[in-house]
């Protein structure tokens, strides 16, 4: 497709479960970003990839959060031992000056 796609669109996890969220960026885009958006707030930066290199992970809230982009295209955000405070929409974006966002994955941790 032409845009950024993310899957799943919705994920419900029990507290303590591990989850994996997938992002397919726009083909050819070098830069890929992950953001977390809590209800009623703006997106907050999590991590940034340039091709397969993770250049900035300063926004990851804890060591339970891990992201990878092994071949420089698709990226996966993994959250281990999910907690209720992890409930949010996780947005992926690709692009340089203007970042193009996917529809997000809404994660609910019960």
Binding interface with other proteins (CB under 8 A): 4, 30-31, 33, 35, 40-45, 48, 50, 56, 59, 91, 93, 96-104
Neighbours of 18 (CB within 10 A): 12
Helix (H, G, I), strand (E, B) or coil at 86: helix
Q: How far is the CB of 69 from other proteins (least distance, A)?
A: 14
Number of helices (H), then strands (E), belonging to the chain: the values are 0, 11
Please name the residue that has the structure tokens 């930066």.
Answer: 45
Q: How far is the CB of 104 from other proteins (least distance, A)?
A: 5
Looking at the Cβ atoms of 81 and 94, the one nearer to other proteins is: 94
């Amino acid at each position: 497709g032409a845009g950024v796609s993310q899957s799943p669109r919705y994920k419900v996890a029990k507290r303590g479960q591990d989850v994996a969220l997938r992002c397919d960026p726009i083909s050819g885009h070098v830069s890929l970003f992950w953001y977390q958006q809590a209800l009623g707030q703006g997106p907050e930066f999590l991590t940034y990839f340039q091709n397969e290199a993770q250049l900035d992970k300063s926004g990851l809230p804890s060591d339970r959060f891990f992201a990878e982009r092994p071949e420089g295209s698709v990226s996966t955000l993994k959250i281990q031992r999910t907690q209720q405070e992890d409930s949010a929409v996780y947005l992926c974006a690709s692009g340089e000056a203007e970042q193009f966002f996917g529809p997000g994955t809404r994660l609910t941790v019960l």
